[in-house]
Amino acid sequence: MTEPARRRGRPSRTGTGSGPGTRELILAAAREEFAERGFEKTSVRGIAKAAGVDPALVHHYFGTKEQVFAASIEVAFAPALQAPAAVEDGPLDAVGERLTRFIFGIWENPATRAPLLAIVRSAVNNETAAAVFRRLIAAQLLSRLARRLDVPEREAELRVSLAAAQLVGTAMLRYVIKAEPLASADAEDVIARLAPVVQRHLTGP
Amino acid sequence: MTEPARRRGRPSRTGTGSGPGTRELILAAAREEFAERGFEKTSVRGIAKAAGVDPALVHHYFGTKEQVFAASIEVAFAPALQAPAAVEDGPLDAVGERLTRFIFGIWENPATRAPLLAIVRSAVNNETAAAVFRRLIAAQLLSRLARRLDVPEREAELRVSLAAAQLVGTAMLRYVIKAEPLASADAEDVIARLAPVVQRHLTGP
């Protein structure tokens, strides 16, 4: 029997003297700290204190503050990062609706909306946080979808970006700024209006 | 000869002992303070100090911190608040391009981009700032455009909101998050791709 492969980029848990779950504990504390204070005002020391561990342990598991932030985004975005699979499966001529429905599913769910809101706030306010956001989301979400489109790479990425812009802007106005009538409009109505537009960006003329 | 009508909601300058231009001086200081510190960390006292005036004078001209903020948004958005006229004039079947071009004109100009960025950051981070943003922009920009559409009011406002969402999301990704390939894409190329989508939202089926 072989040991399970160690996950890439994540330090092993052995030899730290901490029990299993410490990493998760730190991550939960980090997410709350980032959500409450934003990226700039959160410190590794503060995260350690909130998690009830030594700051060295935070560094051991994650490295720098940026790396803790990237890890919390990854966890918060875990459902969104499955989007490519959910969106890629199925016919290309209905991908607009699948993508729109997927994004609304995340934002309409209070459990996933809160961490997403925290990330958006950090990314809007801080250059480092924006860079982490760009890397993770662009690379994992947009590129995979772009590869399915039957056009040159740069054209595909621009199309996916403009489709994403429609969804990002709708989320901003509906969930962040809470502008009416979008904020209280029926989700299914909004999805029905957006899906053909997103589809057009992706596969239209 | 009659005196020019006093502008609504703005206290007169007479009887304050301050020279003309004091209001503008306070407003310039306020914009810098809000841009630098965000809405929450800016105080009337701080604005007064930056402007070199007594805090009482800030209250005299503007009232509360929210009212100073609203006034700075109004100034920063002065070009955008002319959008309705610029966008309303001309044929309805090209309104998508006029609106898109107008919004890009503001964001592509460094002089108007900086204050806009400050407002967006404040609105994303603070509920009071978001409310001010909603009131001013929704009322002045969106409603006027909605009135030109030949559909019931609520339908018109929803259409204008979704068109705005496309433009807001594009601005977020291009100018705030700076996500590629949108951040470095040619502005005219992006306008050409967005205009028909915005048009479709406004006057499509």
Q: At what angle do helices A153-171 and A95-108 cross, to 10 degrees?
A: 40
Integer Cα distance of B65 and B43 in angstroms: 7
- Residue with the bigger pLDDT between A197 and B86: it is A197
Q: Is residue A22 a contact partner of residue A16, using CB atoms and an 8 Å limit?
A: yes
- Which residues of A are less than 8 Å from B116 in CB distance? none
| Number of cross-chain residue pairs from A and B with Cβ atoms under 8 Å apart | 126
Q: Is the pLDDT of residue A58 over 70?
A: yes
Q: Is the pLDDT of residue A16 over 70?
A: no
- Which residues of A are less than 8 Å from B130 in CB distance? 176-178
- Residue with the bigger pLDDT between B52 and A131: it is B52
Q: Provide mean pLDDT across the span B82-90.
A: 73
* Inter-chain residue contact B134 with A170, CB threshold 8 Å: no
A130, A138, A177 member nearest B134 (Cβ): A177
> What pLDDT sits at residue A14?
41
- Residue with the bigger pLDDT between B18 and B126: it is B126
Residue B106's nearest CA partner among B86, B131, B135, B121 is B86
* Closest CA of chain B from A139, distance in Å: 10
Q: What are φ and ψ of residue A77, in 5° steps?
A: -95, 5
A124–B contact, CB cutoff 8 A = yes
Going from N- to C-terminal start, the domains of chain A cover 22-63, 78-203
B157, B165, B193 member nearest A169 (Cβ): B165
* Closest CA of chain A from B189, distance in Å: 10
In the structure, what pLDDT confidence band is assigned to residue A18 with cuts at 50, 70 and 90? low
A186–B contact, CB cutoff 8 A = no
> What pLDDT sits at residue B9?
43
Q: Is the pLDDT of residue B7 over 60?
A: no
Residue B23's nearest CA partner among B60, B73, B78, B76 is B60
Q: b/e map of B96-113 (b: 16 or more CB within 10 Å)?
A: bbbbbbbbbbbbeeeebe
Q: Is residue A86 a contact partner of residue A102, using CB atoms and an 8 Å limit?
A: yes
B192–A contact, CB cutoff 8 A = no
For the stretch A119-135, pLDDT in tens is: 788 778 777 778 877 87
Q: Could you check whether the bond before residue A181 is cis, i.e. omega within 30 degrees of 0? A: yes
B124, B177, B180 member nearest A133 (Cβ): B177
Q: Provide mean pLDDT across the span A14-23.
A: 61
* Closest chain A residue to the Cα of B199, Cα to Cα: A197
Q: Is the pLDDT of residue A74 over 70?
A: yes
- Which residues of B are less than 8 Å from A121 in CB distance? 124-125
E-only strand ranges, chain A? none
CATH architecture observed for domain A22-63: Orthogonal Bundle (1.10)
Taking CA atoms, B175 is separated from A44, A200, B43, B184, in Å, by: 29, 23, 28, 10
CATH assignment, B78-203 = 1.10.357.10
In the structure, what pLDDT confidence band is assigned to residue B20 with cuts at 50, 70 and 90? low
Q: Is the pLDDT of residue B82 over 70?
A: no
A38, A154, A166 member nearest B165 (Cβ): A166
Cβ-based neighbours of B86, under 8 Å, separated by 6 or more: B98, B102
B149–A contact, CB cutoff 8 A = no
Q: Is residue B57 a contact partner of residue B16, using CB atoms and an 8 Å limit?
A: yes
A170–B contact, CB cutoff 8 A = yes
Report the percent of chain B where pLDDT is more than 90. Answer: 40
Angle at B162 between CA B138 and CA A115, to 5 degrees: 90
Distance of CA A41 to the CA centre of its chain: 21
B151–A contact, CB cutoff 8 A = no
In the structure, what pLDDT confidence band is assigned to residue A194 with cuts at 50, 70 and 90? very high
Residue B167's nearest CA partner among B144, B133, B148, B193 is B193
Integer Cα distance of A77 and A186 in angstroms: 24
* Closest CA of chain A from B105, distance in Å: 18
